[in-house]
Amino acid sequence: MSLNLGVLSIQGDVLENILSLKSALDALDIDGTVTSVKTPDELSKIDGLIIPGGESTTIGQLSMVNGLLKILKEKIEQGMPVLGICAGMILLSKTVQDKVVGKINQPLLNILDIKLERNSFGRQRESFESNISLNSIGIPSFNGIFIRAPSISDVGSNVEILSKFNEKIIAVKKNNVIGVAFHPELTSDISLHKYFVNLTNTLKN
Ligand code: GLN
């Protein structure tokens, strides 16, 4: 049966993730489609979704307009695999603070029991790349691209820490939900996208 993968297409790194997912399907020789998701109807046909990096406040607010955010929360709670990248991980989280301005009020999915710090490594000009590892999911070496990246200051029970950088938590997983602070879609390495496609395939069957 064909796998229906989606990328939330409100704002941010949409196209890059669509291309990476298509490459991952090809590399794994899995029959599937990748579509952009903007409406509850489009979301209803999806087996696994990437929430891309971008601007979390914008993505959250615009996703509320047509009721997408509410349906998205329901689908994830029912077990749909989701990969939240940077702003996407911010949206998935329960508690958010900004390193510079402190408490902020923004729409959140409130799904991943993590305490998150926005702009944890500084502003845009402090963006950087560094080698990181995600050993527990079979990715020992990966080029992490951090752009106004968040980090996780605390995790709730059963949230698995997948990676740390400079003592800060930068990737987590709980069952069907993965969050990463860096941008895998901006590298040519599709190993994390492949991991997500495999996870979606396994949980679907
Ligand atoms: N700092 C951004 C936010 O808070 C996220 C940056 C990103 O996705 N690259 O939404």
The CATH number of the domain holding residue 53 is 3.40.50.880
Range of the domain at 168: 3-204
For 1, the 3-state DSSP assignment is coil
Is the pLDDT confidence value at 1 over 80?
no
Domain count, the chain: 1
Does the predicted TM-score (pTM) go above 0.95?
yes
Which distant-in-sequence residues (6+ apart) come within 8 Å of 91 by Cβ? Answer: 51, 56, 59, 60, 84, 107, 108, 109
Q: What is the mean pLDDT of residues 24-33?
A: 98
162-205 pLDDT, tens digit per residue, is: 999 999 999 999 999 999 999 999 999 999 999 999 999 999 86
- Choosing from 16, 86, 117, 193, which is the catalytic residue? 86
Q: How many residues does the chain have?
A: 205
Q: Which of 7, 16, 86, 180 to mutate to test the pocket of ligand 1 (most atoms within 8 A of CB)?
A: 86
Residues 6+ apart with CB under 8 A from 86: 52, 53, 54, 147, 148, 149, 150, 180, 181, 182, 183
